[in-house]
Amino acid sequence: DVKVTQSSRYLVKRTGEKVFLECVQDMDHENMFWYRQDPGLGLRLIYFSYDVKMKEKGDIPEGYSVSREKKERFSLILESASTNQTSMYLCATNRVAYGYTFGSGTRLTVV
């Protein structure tokens, strides 16, 4: 089974801090994704990457950046955290004919 590991389950950060959310997958999949989930808004795509050093903006990229230096690792960066970025963040990977696999999620609170 594909395993997608997110480094933190819960995180509390202060407004203005630079925040790194890490995601690692162990199945050599090309595609990796970052979503955020908010009550009433569902899951929304922030960024995805289809290869090392390649990235594409999703539906809500503002205030975020990403890094993919190695195939197995996809990082989401909040350049200057704000309270409206308090959310559940979910990383995923996918492969054709296999579907998407999600990590366990990171609940980020910005105070």
Partner 1 sequence: GIQVEQSPPDLILQEGANSTLRCNFSDSVNNLQWFHQNPWGQLINLFYIPSGTKQNGRLSATTVATERYSLLYISSSQTTDSGVYFCAVDQTGANNLFFGTGTRLTVIP
Q: Does 100 bind partner 1 (CB under 8 A)?
A: yes
CB closer to partner 1 out of 4 and 15: 4
Cα distance from N-terminal residue to C-terminal residue, the chain? 37
Handedness of CA 85, 37, 89, 24 (dihedral sign): negative
Tell me which of 11, 60, 77, 88 binds partner 1, using CB under 8 A: 88
Tell me which of 42, 53, 62, 83 binds partner 1, using CB under 8 A: 42
The residues near 68 (Cβ < 8 Å, ≥ 6 apart) are 32, 49, 51, 52, 53, 54, 55, 74, 75
Q: What's the Cα-to-Cα distance from 20 to each of 12, 71, 76, 94, 98, rounded to whole Å?
A: 12, 17, 6, 22, 28
CB closer to partner 1 out of 58 and 63: 58
Smallest distance from partner 1 to CB 54, Å: 11
CB closer to partner 1 out of 33 and 64: 33
The residue type found at 71 is K
Identify which range of 19-27, 37-45, 62-70, 78-86 contacts partner 1 by CB under 8 A.
Answer: 37-45
Smallest distance from partner 1 to CB 22, Å: 17
